[in-house]
């Protein structure tokens, strides 16, 4: 005797296919994170756009057999009912636009972060520059108040007189004799010297010539009759700044023979 086999049937009449709604596509796209999941988004969106019906076997369904008289109908998951408003191509376009919007926002956020970091570094650099300037000003002020700073100031003032004529007994500001020049320059720097070269030599400690320093005085004669300001050694010769003699002007030149040193650093 033949056995009858029942055929599976859908529960209820199948629903007609409707095109997906754009807002649902966007929701699906937003639920997936990371740019690397674009393929998954496209696949999911395409499946929904096609209105696919996926048959899923029931969890307790038994394997089909010729001995059974009927087969349990398979469960069917229908595609969501969507309003007819978008095509699959439009949905993919929306997903790409979402991706681009995310990238734009990330670029803006990164640009803002870099701008803030640059501003922070600029503020730090400005603060350091201000501190360095303040420190340099304090050091310059301290140096100017020191003996070394005063001596450099005296040399600077004396150098400004280069070209002024020698006039016996003159103490400036536009003509000088030798001791008038040294007294004028050192007085401007806050170091007081006697008027004439002989008294200047007596007022300063005598030091060995090879220990002379920039700004020390050089004397000639016994009794002393001339004075100049030591500047530097050059090719083994001492270079001085002085008012030489009548008919000449204030200048730099190699020291005359027979000099000895008096230290303004120890004054």
Both tokens of 254, joined, read 């190699």
Residues carrying an active site annotation: 178, 226, 242
d(CA 183, CA 197): 9
Question: Which residues 6+ apart lie within 8 Å of 236 measured at CB?
Answer: none
- Within 10 angstroms of residue 204's Cβ, the number of other Cβ atoms is 20
Is the CB of residue 219 less than 8 Å from the CB of residue 227?
yes
Closest CA to 233 of 221, 248, 218, 222: 218
Residue carrying the six token digits 């209105």: 51
Query: CA 203 from chain center: how many Å?
Result: 54
Burial of residue 42 (CB within 10 Å: 0-12, 13-18, 19+) is middle
Residue in the structure block whose two tokens are 């007819």: 84
Closest C-alpha to 78, from 10, 30, 126: 10
């Amino acid at each position: 005797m033949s056995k009858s086999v029942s055929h599976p049937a859908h529960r209820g009449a199948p629903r007609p296919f409707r095109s997906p709604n754009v807002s649902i596509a966007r929701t699906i796209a937003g639920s997936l994170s990371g740019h690397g999941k674009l393929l998954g988004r496209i696949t999911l969106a395409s499946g929904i756009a096609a209105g696919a019906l996926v048959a899923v076997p029931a969890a307790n369904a038994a394997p089909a057999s010729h001995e059974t008289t009927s087969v349990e109908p398979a469960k069917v998951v229908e595609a969501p009912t969507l309003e007819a408003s978008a095509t699959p191509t439009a949905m993919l376009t929306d997903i790409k636009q979402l991706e681009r919007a995310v990238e734009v926002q990330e670029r803006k956020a990164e640009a803002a972060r870099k701008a803030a970091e640059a501003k922070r570094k600029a503020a730090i650099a400005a603060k350091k520059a201000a501190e360095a300037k303040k420190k340099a000003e304090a050091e310059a002020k301290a140096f100017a108040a020191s003996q070394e700073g005063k001596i450099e100031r005296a040399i600077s003032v004396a150098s400004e007189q280069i070209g002024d004529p020698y006039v016996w007994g003159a103490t400036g500001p536009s003509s000088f004799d030798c001791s008038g020049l040294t007294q004028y320059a050192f007085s401007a720097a806050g170091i007081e010297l006697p008027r004439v070269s002989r008294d200047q030599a007596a007022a300063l400690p005598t030091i060995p010539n090879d220990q002379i320093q920039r700004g020390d005085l050089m004397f000639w004669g016994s009794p002393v009759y001339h004075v100049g300001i030591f500047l530097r050694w050059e090719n083994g010769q001492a270079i001085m700044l002085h008012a030489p003699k009548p008919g000449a002007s204030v200048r730099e030149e190699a020291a005359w023979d027979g000099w000895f040193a008096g230290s303004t650093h120890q004054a």
